[in-house]
Chains A and B, each alone.
Chain A
Amino acid sequence: KNEVEQSPQNLTAQEGEFITINCSYSVGISALHWLQQHPGGGIVSLFMLSSGKKKHGRLIATINIQEKHSSLHITASHPRDSAVYICAVGGGSQGNLIFGKGTKLSVKP
């Protein structure tokens, strides 16, 4: 079993829909990261959080430390949100980031 599990693996949505991507982890962490990777490879860090909730524009990230679960929400989705979203956790015994396999999101106009 992977230490970081994401669901769904693939997601297709219509423009304007509310989107949720989930991440569950099995290791102790100090922080969880949400990353966005566009075709071509470039990765952008969206959020780093260790508790509660963070919001940036149409993106909201939440984390429940007790349940070892985080969600990334996108409100009013847009085709430019189409990308792979990757959850990563840090602070484990090795002191490095452990990544989920990613969720490929496609938003249709």
Chain B
Amino acid sequence: DTGVSQDPRHKITKRGQNVTFRCDPISEHNRLYWYRQTLGQGPEFLTYFQNEAQLEKSRLLSDRFSAERPKGSFSTLEIQRTEQGDSAMYLCASSPTQGGQPQHFGDGTRLSIL
């Protein structure tokens, strides 16, 4: 169990640029989740996958956001035309399919928009 890995750990970019984050889940986990965490708040759900299928998307996930998990393994989260309000920590988590199994989190990607 190597844990959930996220890359990069930090990303600084100018407003209007596109950014892409990668998440590698624990290898035997079918489910993969993306959350966003702003200062002083708990993580807020963005979207989740079971294998390669995207099963649920939050209303927080505007049309500038897109997530993929093409082969049911790693996932990418892309933000197009970044805005100041996108500055946050983006957390990835994974879990087995069985109900009640806890989600295991990566260390996150901290995005700063200049």
Same complex origin of A and B = no
